[in-house]
Amino acid sequence: MIEALCRLFRYEPIRHTRGELILLRLILGLLIWDTYSGWIGTWTQPLVALEALLKNPWSWDMTYTTQPHPNGLAAWFDLTWIAQDHIEFPLRIATIASLIAYMAGIPAACSLALPLVFSILGTTLANSQGAIGHTAQVLHLVLLMVWVGGVWSEINRWRGKPLPQDFTAGQWQADLARQGIAAAYVVSALTKLQNSGGDWFSDAQYLALHVTKNNDMQFYDSLDPAAQTLNWLPQVMMQHPTLCQMLFGFGLPLELFAFVGLLNRRLAALFGLALLSFHIAVTELMQLSFIFNKVLLIAYFIAPWWWVRQAVQPSKTRLAAA
Amino acid sequence: MAWFIPWQTRKTEKPGEWYPFSNFPMYSKFEPDTYYVFVTDLADKPIALSEVFGASSSNVKKAYDRKLTNLKKGGGSKVRRTELPLETRREAAIEVLQWLAASAAKQAEVHALGGLRLHQVGIAFREGQLSKNTTAVGEITFATPPAPAP
């Protein structure tokens, strides 16, 4: 039993295969591309999604002329210049070109520099309008980590030094991306503990009110009556508060201990699947998409392609590989 | 970063928020009541926020919430921000509506409405039932008539 637990929690650096790293590049590139095209909203209709991917960046537009509530770098610099059409448009198109270069295998230190600057400055400006959005936060955090990993790799290569754990540049960047995702979850859990005074679990019974709020807000976004199909649910939830606490209570320890998922493939998959399930439950109940969180968990933590390959690979080859 | 962000943002309106870093305060505290806002024309007909303004309900609520917080701090009031006097909330609502109208993706469509009204909906659980209470908190009218279509 103890041996099994030791094996489960043993640190085994996650060494992605070359194929996986290519896939991770494609996924990250396409997710960033979505922030200038919104193609993911139509992913179930591939042709419509492809059209959005190719056409929307040409008409995407930031209309901000002021930054009345400066956030992040906007507290130090005026970022409104980035929304001026004669600057924004060429930068956006150059960003797309850089993303294509990244997906084609150009080192992240070069190819992700422009997407990083444009994404973070643009979203910082948007967040300086009076309402802070968190939709792409984890995605931009991953972008930052991968770029930092890319620069670090180049510096080490130039100095002739190996990367930590003898990682390749791609493996190192993926490891840093995972650390960024895990850190975001841990911080989120600590904030819940701090802001709720430790009562987050018991107060989760009031989640029903937020389900009502979110469903109604979703309706007023589009006036689509489909957003109100779950109107019966909050009353049921309030009548069964323990159900709410059980359902959402498990999210807190998952987030708090998300860093355990960094130890090895098994734990990464375990925490990845659990957090993905949590996000899916929240999406169903509260109509909050969490699309970037979900895809990043699948890509960097769960990595289903690796497990499928392990399952179909003959055991002898596996043994030889090990 | 673990020390820089909290220190750098300690005196800002949103401590812990420094893009792309955040303390992720969403749903960190559940209370027995909450609220949201929606926008209508002056005949109280709801307006699809994302289609007409290119904004989300969530962002409009955050903007209103922030104005209320600032007004509450400025006035030194001890009541909860959603229970501030209607006159104070009206001030916040008008500022939000002006911001919304100014940043609207479809300017002509917005001006054709003649004006906008912000409604605050309180949600609470009382006596075994979920209850909603809607209050019109503020409105703006557009002085200039809509521009004729080209």
In this prediction, residues B83-110 reach a mean pLDDT of 89
In this prediction, residues A14-36 reach a mean pLDDT of 97
Within chain B, residue ranges assigned H as helices are 4-8, 49-53, 57-75, 86-102, 107-112
Q: Which of A130-139, A249-258, B72-81, B108-117 has the lowest mean pLDDT?
A: B72-81
In this prediction, residues B27-54 reach a mean pLDDT of 90
Q: Which two tokens stand for residue A256?
A: 């708090």
pLDDT in the model for residue A315: 64
In this prediction, residues B127-131 reach a mean pLDDT of 80
Size of interface A-B (CB pairs under 8 A): 153
Residues in chain A within 8 Å Cβ distance of B103? 63-64, 129
* CB A215 within 8 Å of CB A232: no
Residues in chain B within 8 Å Cβ distance of A254? none
pLDDT in the model for residue B148: 47
Contacting residues for A193 by C-beta, under 8 A, at least 6 apart: A200, A252, A256
pLDDT in the model for residue B146: 47
**Which range has the top average pLDDT, A95-109, A123-137, B25-39?**
A95-109
* CB B23 within 8 Å of CB B4: no
pLDDT in the model for residue B122: 93
pLDDT in the model for residue B150: 41
pLDDT of A319 above 80:
no
Within A104-240, residue ranges assigned H as helices are 108-111, 113-126, 137-159, 169-195, 200-203, 207-222, 233-239
pLDDT of A250 above 90:
no
pLDDT of A186 above 50:
yes
pLDDT of A86 above 50:
yes
User: Which residue from A188, A213, A220 is facing B34, i.e. has the nearest CB?
Assistant: A213
Q: Which helix (H) or strand (E) holds A100?
A: helix A85-103
The answer to whether B66 contacts A69, with C-beta atoms less than 8 Å apart, is yes
**Which range has the top average pLDDT, A132-141, A144-153, B43-52, B127-136?**
A144-153
User: CA nearest B51 in A: which residue?
Assistant: A222
CA distance A310 to A317: 10
pLDDT of B29 above 90:
no
User: Which residue from A69, A195, A218 is facing B28, i.e. has the nearest CB?
Assistant: A195
CA distance A212 to A281: 15
User: Which residue from B25, B36, B125 is facing A216, i.e. has the nearest CB?
Assistant: B36
Of A211 and A106, more confident: A106
CA distance A173 to A146: 5
In this prediction, residues A148-167 reach a mean pLDDT of 96
CA-based nearest distance B117→chain A, Å = 13
Residues in chain A within 8 Å Cβ distance of B33? 209
CA distance A284 to A108: 36
The answer to whether A216 contacts B28, with C-beta atoms less than 8 Å apart, is no
User: Which residue from A195, A196, A216 is facing B121, i.e. has the nearest CB?
Assistant: A216
**How large a percentage of chain B has pLDDT more than 90?**
40
pLDDT in the model for residue B147: 47
CA distance B144 to B113: 11
Of B5 and A161, more confident: A161
Q: Which helix (H) or strand (E) holds A318?
A: helix A315-321
* CB A242 within 8 Å of CB A202: no
* CB A175 within 8 Å of CB A13: yes
Rounded-to-5 percentages of helix, strand, coil across chain B: 35, 25, 40
pLDDT tens per residue across span A41-77: 999 999 999 999 999 999 888 888 899 889 999 999 9
Residue of B42, B6, B103, B83 whose CA lies nearest to A194: B6
CA distance A321 to A67: 55
CA-based nearest distance A23→chain B, Å = 24
Residue of B20, B93, B150 whose CA lies nearest to A72: B20
The residue of A82, A132, A143, A144 whose CB has the most chain B CBs within 10 angstroms, and thus the best one to mutate to test that interface, is A132
In this prediction, residues A93-98 reach a mean pLDDT of 97
For chain B, what is the mean pLDDT?
86
pLDDT of A148 above 60:
yes
Residues in chain A within 8 Å Cβ distance of B12? 71, 75
The answer to whether B30 contacts A132, with C-beta atoms less than 8 Å apart, is no
The answer to whether B123 contacts A221, with C-beta atoms less than 8 Å apart, is no
The residue of A195, A199, A220, A231 whose CB has the most chain B CBs within 10 angstroms, and thus the best one to mutate to test that interface, is A220
**How large a percentage of chain A has pLDDT more than 70?**
97
pLDDT-derived band of residue A318, with 50, 70 and 90 as boundaries? low
CA–chain centroid gap for A66, Å, is 28
pLDDT in the model for residue A317: 59
The residue of A125, A190, A209, A286 whose CB has the most chain B CBs within 10 angstroms, and thus the best one to mutate to test that interface, is A209
**How large a percentage of chain A has pLDDT more than 90?**
70
pLDDT in the model for residue A320: 53
The answer to whether B125 contacts A208, with C-beta atoms less than 8 Å apart, is yes
CA distance B74 to A319: 69
| Per-residue 3-state assignment (H helix, E strand, C coil) for A277-305 | HHHHHHHHHHCCCCHHHHHHHHHHHHCHH
User: Which residue from B25, B31, B105 is facing A206, i.e. has the nearest CB?
Assistant: B31
Residues in chain B within 8 Å Cβ distance of A141? 20-21
What residue type is A172 in one-letter code? W
pLDDT in the model for residue A274: 96
Q: CA angle, A84 as apex, B147 and B54 as ends, to 5°?
A: 55
CA-based nearest distance B56→chain A, Å = 6
CA-based nearest distance B44→chain A, Å = 13
Residues in chain A within 8 Å Cβ distance of B4? none
CA-based nearest distance B107→chain A, Å = 12
Residues in chain A within 8 Å Cβ distance of B28? 188, 191-192, 194-196, 200
The answer to whether A194 contacts B28, with C-beta atoms less than 8 Å apart, is yes
User: CA nearest A125 in B: which residue?
Assistant: B19
Residues in chain B within 8 Å Cβ distance of A204? 30
pLDDT in the model for residue B14: 81
The answer to whether A191 contacts B28, with C-beta atoms less than 8 Å apart, is yes
Residue B131, classed as helix, strand or coil, is strand
What residue type is A116 in one-letter code? L
Q: Is the alpha carbon torsion for A35, A36, A38, A39 positive or negative? A: negative
pLDDT-derived band of residue B149, with 50, 70 and 90 as boundaries? very low
pLDDT in the model for residue A189: 94
pLDDT in the model for residue B144: 57
